Structure 1
């Protein structure tokens, strides 16, 4: 069969469910049965498989002339997902197998270049070196939010500098760990300034206390300002007016400073 775009076939939702179920089974079997392998061995083995698949399928699904094309495609995807999830766990230190499998599935399904383990490893290493925060684990950020992989080094540096302008390094690392999307939000400085002012007015706390609260609960950068009143200032508001989830985040963030 042809290896161009004409030979590619997208899986149906039902086939994706089958592929992911099979990937889970393969990953569980590999975890139980396989001996520990080095990062290089995993990378080389997966690279060879990926190269073979790409050569036969234009970089995506291997076409088949048989009546079992659907089953073959499902098995191929399942093997790629399981292989990448295994690499994440054994080669890159991902401690949560379920999160690793979810990330692997999303990368394979999207046809992402980071579905290739060597490219994934290189990107994570570059981001780790670029951010250079001792207490920050970039792999954990990627497991929580795959969009982090698409942040280029220049953008990462700009976001980091914006965060370091309002938080010390340890607090910036805490905020990023709690909310990876901070690495690619475009309006961080404006969003931060508005939310800090809201906390100072609403809670009567200092700017330093508000800054600490936001490093512990950076999700407030998205959930608090949407409740801005067009007439009343934050100083005239009561926290009880806010949704309970927002109240809890504010209370936890402020209490955490004195619990350390």
Structure 2
């Protein structure tokens, strides 16, 4: 498999690293189009891949062309690549909010895959939700799936509307979790724990609780009930969270991110 990246930032590097580790492609099979010289030097030095500031050069001969740029850079990309992808190439976009129709029109190319990954892909624990245009063949779909598998879990959906929803849950979700972790650590310090002790306790609690949900198969509400004793400390803490509107705030956060994703897609 030959792979090209347009944009050599954090997410592109995570996917590139995953593909190399899984031996889906070798360094000589990967090229990166990246405008920043320091990033080109890093990617070439650390991974042995070809890196160029010329996007047309980067995409030559690639089976999959991964678009890993900021949404505001799309017009410039379209100017460079419109009508330049070969019929056998498939564009794979990880650009937040960019719809398949927009990408297909801008590139003048029918075969487009849209992916919503997230930052835990950097350690191979990412979540990628994806879909594709009808022009994407079975081989290209399998290639894309194998690439996404190298950086965590992937789920294919048959309707693009779910991508905006996934953006709000799994795409933005790590930031919500990091905020909760930060607050839990600070709360431990507030009640008297040394900061390092609070940090270790909070991180292991989040990690262990997540793993318990995933491996037990139990509903989170059932596991929550197992921690709560009548008139106990956990019941008191949960009541404080309810009074502060934390569950409702999480719903509001996801809905706000969802609406923003739709707005980005509308240009």
Q: Tell me: higher relative CO, structure 1 or 2? Use CA pairs within 8 A at least 6 residues apart.
A: 2
Q: Per residue, is there more strand in 1 or in 2?
A: 2
Question: TM class, shorter-chain normalised?
Answer: under 0.3
How high is the TM-score relative to the length of structure 1? Answer: 0.27
The structure whose Rg is larger is: 1
Give TM-score scaled by structure 2 length.
0.26
Q: 1 or 2, which has the higher helix percentage?
A: 1
